[in-house]
Amino acid sequence: MVASDRSQGNPKEGTHGKRAKRSGVKSWREGPRAAGETRIIPSGNSRPHYPGTRYGEERKALYPRGGRILRRARFLKEVVMHCRKVVGKDYPIMVRISGNDFTPGGITPREAQRTAEYLEEWGVNAIHVTAGTHETQEMTVQPMSIPRGCLVPLANEIKKVVRIPVAAGALPAKPDTPGMDYEKVITAWEALEDPQRLGEHVVVIGGGSVGAETAEFLAGFPKEITLVEMLKEVACDVEINHRKLLLRRLGEKGVKIRVRTQVREIRPDGVMLEFSGQQEMLSADTVVLAAGAKENRELKETQQQLQVEFYAIGDCREARKALEAIHEGFQTALHL
């Protein structure tokens, strides 16, 4: 898109916002979003270069050092301003931006911070932080091997310079069981990130959705997996149809399941279990913790230190499911 085209703005952005307003959409979580994500106008025009493309070489020739951020964000500004003109000053607008492209010549965290500052100045009500480009799609739509909450640090960096809502995720819980500090004890997130680091005999503690799905994933490697759950069944928090197939796959992959079993201690040579009052030592080279999650206080504490107004919702308030987080976000936004 040439400069003369960009100067006209994108009337469809404002039209969609106007339709949303007429349809009764009240929350910024439902409201119009100026899509500033990977390679999609407008934030695509905010990138310094497009590595490996003809367009990227042209931009590199035009902006050998990336160009000024404000100049590159010109089209983004025009879209936001046009949306605001159409929907009015009291209607919420959210913009999604990349916190880090994870590719040479792409958007850096510092550039994302500067863009966020401009967005706040232009009257945007909320920022949704994503990451990656087409060359680094694994950071945009993360596979299981990427740890959960991997974009939280990027959101924290954005939050340092703006005063509008940015979401955070939960952290893995660590049971108060003797031996948890041994090097062979890792979280489910760490196990998914690097399954090759695990030993031959693996014990997964916690038979909820995270533990069961982690056990299934690890069973795809040449390892002996044992899933330990203190309740009478595993995967009780999984949707009924998905649970049926998950349990079938666990059986097909040879995962050993121990229910109504408690972990009493983790020792150098294994895990001490207790079932029906009887204790048993189970051999384990690696112990994977999947015993729930806890609230992520990092973002909340950052806001308190910065003395900015914020609203604690989702996992930074209490670790639960996505449904509760979405509902809280909706209810909070209605009262902003």
Same domain flag for 100 and 140? yes
Lowest mean pLDDT among 58-62, 160-164, 195-199: 58-62
pLDDT at 208: 92
Which of 138, 166, 194 corresponds to the end of one domain?
A: 166
Whether 321 is in a domain gets the answer no
Q: End-to-end distance of the chain based on CA atoms, in angstroms?
A: 36
Whether 76 is in a domain gets the answer yes
DSSP 113-128: HHHHHHHHHTT--EEE
Q: Which domain holds residue 19?
A: 3-166
Whether 236 is in a domain gets the answer yes
Percent of the chain with pLDDT over 70: 71
For the chain, the residue count is 336
pLDDT at 42: 47
Checking if the pLDDT of 317 tops 90, the result is no
Write the pLDDT tens digit of every residue in 185-199: 999 989 998 998 999
pLDDT at 215: 96
Whether 124 is in a domain gets the answer yes
Nearest-angstrom CA–CA distance, 306 and 297: 14
Lowest mean pLDDT among 41-55, 78-92, 134-148, 231-245: 41-55
Same domain flag for 271 and 197? yes
Q: With contact defined as beta carbons under 8 Å apart, do 291 and 173 qualify?
A: yes
Nearest-angstrom CA–CA distance, 311 and 217: 36
Lowest mean pLDDT among 60-64, 152-156, 252-256, 319-323: 60-64
